[in-house]
């Protein structure tokens, strides 16, 4: 068999392989569907609508238009393309130490799992912690720092510095 005939036989297979995985850019996002749908512009200028965005279980995001995507065409069929990785280099956190993990937004909000068993939660505006029954904070030392604010409770606040108060609350030692 000549190389020309062999090449002619392989061309359809090569074409299908090239169509299986591609890069592109997110143009539009529909976050209202059960599986988020994206409009993608692929490297060849091809535009695909209603491409399902497969996200990891427990993680959801709403990418900004212009984010980059890796997409796969199941069975090399462009009509069955799915987005399996959406990244945005414009907002990626840089210089994490080996082993560190972080979640971040384009506005700079961060949950950073740092080396040394430290977790940093950072926002330029507000951090809320909600629990329908109990919110518990435990530590050898707990510090609350701020310029303004208040502590609101429907009961009372106790400070442990020694013996027990008659109603079960540890006594408060006056400064």
DSSP H or E stretch at residue 137: none
CA 73 to mean position of chain CA atoms: 24
Residue 122 lies in a domain: no
* Mean pLDDT of all residues belonging to the chain: 87
Q: pLDDT category, 11, cuts 50, 70, 90?
A: confident
65 close to 29: Cβ distance less than 8 angstroms: yes
Distance CA 43, CA 172 (A): 67
Instruction: Provide the strand spans (E) within the chain.
Output: 21-30, 37-42, 47-53, 68-73, 81-87, 101-104, 110-114, 118-122
Residue 161 has pLDDT above 90, yes or no: no
79 close to 50: Cβ distance less than 8 angstroms: no
pLDDT of residue 152: 78
Q: Which domain holds residue 39?
A: 3-87
174 close to 159: Cβ distance less than 8 angstroms: no
The residue count for the chain: 175
Q: Which residue has the tokens 């996200």?
A: 55
Residue 10 lies in a domain: yes
pLDDT of residue 175: 44
Rank 3-7, 43-47, 82-86 by mean pLDDT and report only the highest.
82-86
pLDDT of residue 160: 57
Per the structure block, which two tokens stand in for 173?
């030692």
Residue 40 has pLDDT above 90, yes or no: yes
Residue 72 lies in a domain: yes
Residue 82 lies in a domain: yes
Domain count for the chain, please give it: 1
CATH number of the CATH domain containing 12 = 2.40.50.140
What's the pTM?
Answer: 0.74
Distance CA 76, CA 103 (A): 33
Distance CA 26, CA 37 (A): 10
Sign of torsion over alpha carbons 118, 123, 126, 132: negative
What pLDDT, in 10s, does the model give residues 67-101? 999 999 988 888 899 999 999 999 999 999 999 99
pLDDT of residue 168: 61
């Amino acid at each position: 068999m000549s190389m020309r005939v062999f090449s002619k036989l392989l061309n359809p297979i090569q074409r299908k392989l090239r169509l299986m995985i591609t890069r592109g850019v997110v143009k539009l996002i529909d976050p209202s569907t059960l599986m988020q749908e994206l409009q993608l512009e692929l490297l060849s200028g091809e535009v695909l609508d209603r491409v399902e965005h497969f996200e990891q279980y427990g993680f959801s995001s709403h990418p900004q238009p212009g984010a980059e995507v890796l997409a796969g065409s199941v069975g090399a069929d462009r009509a069955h393309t799915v987005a399996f990785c959406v990244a945005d280099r414009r907002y990626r956190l840089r210089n994490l130490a080996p082993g560190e993990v972080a979640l971040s937004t384009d506005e700079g909000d961060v949950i950073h799992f740092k080396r040394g068993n430290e977790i940093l939660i950072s926002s330029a505006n507000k951090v809320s912690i909600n629990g329908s029954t109990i919110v518990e904070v435990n530590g050898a030392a707990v510090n609350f720092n701020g310029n303004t604010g208040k502590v609101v409770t429907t009961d009372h606040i106790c400070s442990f510095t020694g013996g027990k108060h008659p109603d079960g609350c540890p006594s408060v030692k006056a400064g």
